Chain A
């Protein structure tokens, strides 16, 4: 028993380390970060006979300062704008995709068409297509719909993404068939069954899906750089991907601000997430 805890604690430390470093280092001063992460030798080092320097991961800041947060949040007024942009992209996708997928997954459950499994297989196969391959056709379609420079070019494909259908259908399978039949006998319509029987059962599946979609769209980079040309309209993820190499003095605080929402989302839904995937795992 004790051995089990030991294994888990050791592994947890390894898994949590990047998060811990990001959080603690966000309270370091820029100078301290430079000291820890740059390995270019200065003249002082050469005089001191140091010929090689290595990266140091330091967990406890020498002095706690909020300067990074001030620099990120207040000295760059655009940061808040970018954060809002991230929300503007992510929120509609999460809500839209969940709603559309729920309806579709329900339809697959009650549909009696004999080829529905084949149609469902198409959903899965299309989901497997790598991004690079569909970027150009997506652009062609966005151009055709005249939305190629707006968020819609990113949001609309997100709403109709087949992953949600797949996940929700799997978890809907766990709802016993008897529920539907009993309701049917009582003369309930499909809408009624959907709203009053299926939806309450699906809380966990919905949580799971919305969390995974949230994380995916919060971290979105590739589609954005193709469609959004104005950098004041870019979401935070793009900004962060560019900041990563250049301004290491800011990256930790920026990451923390960036991570705050998804972490909160994850913590909120963690209990449900497990349950949701549990259901979708049971066929």
Chain B
């Protein structure tokens, strides 16, 4: 008799879902969407990492001015900032720091966005910062932006860095629109290796071949890390691993290969580098040694010389302006990067498949559930426009996707205007000095050289791997056990194989 209740429920269920299933399958007419007006309300959702949210809010204001009748809401989440008051010389300072466990807050954010999306709602535009975008794309929850691009007469392909956009396509669809990009390049110390054969693309082996004899006699390490290098993966292992990432983890085809020998080989190679004194032990894996910081240590670390160093693209402009005597780019990050006076550009690192990797800081996707896709697309385009991208308010560390903005941003970096703007944006008063916006002839020259190199390197970037934060975390955690000597390379490979396989097969 209870069965009748249960089966009654089942029948009701089936009836309901059949009803719901009917009529939902309609082909979206993008031409029609693009013909409609830009108006109405949209919402952008992002995970709050301070600068980012205020940037979006500014963009929203400018957008509303440009298109009257629109309203852009910016939604953000994050751990509650910790507000502490401190007494400092009679003044009460209010210090706001990111509070609590960031990972927990991130998971909470993803979980909320997922609920909204699965319920058929959610923000119109999703900032793809902590959200695993490939899962959204796989489930059909993100719009293929090519549909908008093809039907938008105002969209000019030449305005954007095409190879970057192309490389971020996933399974043939453009689900995200990156707003910027960063890449790593290697520099070499010309005081240690005057005749290093700089080239556009090189491999670690090229550097080792050129430097190993010298390293053996001077005792200096071969690979170091510039203090400017802020890209993900600070250790040498992580860099080497992400270079051949798709050999180990192929998210698109759900294939995992840790036990094939290559991964264990990689671990052993990195270890042998450390044993030969070519890399810092701290460079093997960052979390393994303590990061006790003292001024003395800072100074000695800064004086350290390396044959080659990893640099982030945000440091590239310094390469050309450091002789001009102007303070240009970023505030030096806490950390030590060794002496950089004699660093010259060595080239981009590529793997044996001629792939050169890059990453991005900001990118956006449009929610398929959005009711106002026209305005959403216009806003995404607005974020990528010359106007916003050259405003100097955006991601401070990366290169704009908009080709027209690159030169403007670079000249702002060279004059120091960018520094001031950023200080103003984060609420700090500038030093009061009015910077000249005009470039001196030397600066003009530096700008020209920088743009030429940037252009050359940008054209070589061709690989953006779909990463999954969970998998990366599993790898980093497990690999620690190898470098601390608790597990052999094969054991690590085996554990990872079973964990990642489980994850991808779910």
Interface residues of A (CB under 8 A from B): 40-43, 46, 75-78, 118, 121-122, 125, 135-136, 139-140, 143, 222, 225-226, 229, 231-232, 234, 238-239, 241-247
* Distance, CA A136 to CA B118, complexed state (A): 7
Query: Does any Cβ of A come within 8 Å of B151's Cβ?
Result: no
From A46, A122, A225, B108 is in contact (CB under 8 Å) with A225
* CB–CB B112/A225 < 8 A: yes
A136 to B104, CA, bound (A): 20
- Distance in Å: Cβ of B9 to nearest Cβ of chain A: 8
Contact A136 B2, beta carbon cutoff 8 Å: no
Residues in A neighbouring B101, C-beta threshold 8 A = 241-246
How far is it, in angstroms, between the C-alpha of A242 and the C-alpha of B80 when the chains are bound?
9
Given A76-B83, A136-B115, 6 more A-B residue pairs with CB atoms under 8 Å apart are A43-B292, A143-B119, A239-B100, A242-B100, A245-B104, A246-B100
Neighbour of A243 across the interface among B2, B100, B290, CB < 8 A:
B100
- Chain B residues with CB under 8 Å of A241's CB are 101, 104
B387 within 8 A of A: no
Say if the beta carbon of B84 comes within 8 Å of chain A.
yes
Kindly list chain B residues whose C-beta atoms are within 8 Å of the C-beta of A78. 80, 83
Please name all residues of chain B whose beta carbon is closer than 8 Å to the beta carbon of A244 when the two chains form the complex. Answer: 101, 104
Q: CA separation between A136 and B100, bound complex, in Å?
A: 27
Whether A118 contacts B5 by the Cβ 8 Å rule is yes
Determine the distance from Cα of A77 to Cα of B111 in the docked complex, in whole angstroms: 28
Residues of A within 8 Å of B105, CB to CB, are 242
CA distance A239 to B120 in the complex (A): 28
B116 at interface, CB cutoff 8 A: yes
Residues B80 and A239 in contact, CB atoms below 8 Å apart? yes
With contacts A76-B83, A118-B2 taken as known, whether A139 is within 8 angstroms of B119 at the C-beta atoms is yes
Output the least CB separation between B407 and chain A (Å): 40
Q: Is A121 a contact partner of B5 (Cβ separation < 8 A)? A: yes
Give CA–CA (A211, B79) in the complex, Å: 30
Chain B contacts for A231, CB-based, 8 A: 78-80
The 4 closest A-B pairs by CB, nearest first: A242-B100, A245-B101, A225-B108, A231-B80
Q: Which of B79, B84, B102 has the most CB of A within 10 A?
A: B79
Flag if A234 contacts B83 (CB, 8 Å).
Answer: no
Q: Which of B75, B78, B99, B116 has the most CB of A within 10 A?
A: B99
Q: By the criterion CB–CB under 8 Å, are B1 and A246 in contact?
A: no
Which residues of chain A are within 8 angstroms of B1 by Cβ–Cβ distance?
118
Structural contact, B121 and A75, CB atoms closer than 8 A = no
Given contacts A136-B119, A143-B119, contact A234 B80 (CB under 8 A): yes
Known A78-B80, A122-B5, A136-B118: A242·B290 in contact at CB below 8 Å: no
For the complex, is B85 an interface residue (Cβ under 8 Å from A)?
yes
Min CB gap A148→B, angstroms: 9
A140/B75 contact (C-beta < 8 A), A244-B101, A246-B100 known: no
Q: Is the CB of A229 within 8 A of B119?
A: no
Among B112-131, those with CB < 8 Å from A are 112, 115-116, 118-121
Contact, CB under 8 Å: A77 / B80: no
* Residue B82 at the chain A interface, CB threshold 8 Å: yes
Contacts of A245 in B (CB 8 A): 101, 103-104
Residues in B454-478 with C-beta less than 8 Å from chain A: none
- Residues on A with C-beta less than 8 A from B292 are 42-43
Q: Does B77 contact A (CB under 8 A)?
A: yes
Nearest chain-A residue to B121 (Cβ)? A143
Q: What is the CA–CA distance of A109 and B105 in the complex, to the nearest angstrom?
A: 46
**B116 touching A139 by the CB < 8 A rule?**
yes
Taking the closest CB of chain B, its distance from the CB of A119, in whole angstroms, is 8
B81's nearest neighbour on chain A, judged by CB, is A231
Complex: A231 Cα to B103 Cα, angstroms: 16
**A78 to B85 CA separation, bound complex (whole angstroms):** 13
User: Hey, which chain B residues are within 8 Å of A40, CB to CB?
Assistant: 290
| CB <8 Å contact, A76 and B82 | yes
- Asked if A140 and B290 sit within 8 Å, CB to CB, the answer is no
Q: Could you pull out 13 A-B pairs where Cβ atoms are within 8 angstroms?
A: A78-B83, A139-B116, A140-B119, A226-B111, A226-B115, A229-B75, A231-B79, A231-B80, A232-B80, A241-B104, A242-B100, A244-B104, A246-B79
For A136, the closest partner residue in chain B by CB is B118
* Docked complex Cα distance between A254 and B40 (Å): 44
User: Which chain A positions have C-beta within 8 A of B290?
Assistant: 40-43, 46
A226 touches B118 (CB 8 A): no
Q: How far is the CA of A139 from the CA of B121 in the complex (A)?
A: 10
Query: Which of B75, B84, B85, B99 is the one whose CB lies under 8 Å from A246?
Result: B99
Q: How far is the CA of A43 from the CA of B101 in the complex (A)?
A: 26
Inter-subunit contact A246/B102 (CB<8 Å): yes
The complex places the Cα of A222 from the Cα of B115 at a distance, in Å, of 11
Known: A136-B119, A139-B116. A77 touches B83 (CB 8 A): yes
Complex interface: chain B residues within 8 A of A76 (CB): 82-84
A226 to B119, CA, bound (A): 12
| Chain B residue at minimum C-beta to C-beta distance from A41 | B290
User: Which residues on A sit within 8 Å (CB–CB) of B120?
Assistant: 140
Chain A residues lying within 8 Å of B118, measured Cβ to Cβ, are: 136
Q: Are B85 and A229 in contact (CB under 8 A)?
A: no
* Chain A residues positioned under 8 Å from B84 (CB to CB): 75-76
Q: Which A residues are CB-close (under 8 A) to B102?
A: 246
Q: Which residues of A sit under 8 angstroms from B111, Cβ to Cβ?
A: 222, 225-226
CB distance from A254 to the nearest CB of B (A): 11
Distance from A37 Cβ to chain B, minimum over Cβ atoms (Å): 15
CB nearest neighbor in B for A82: B80
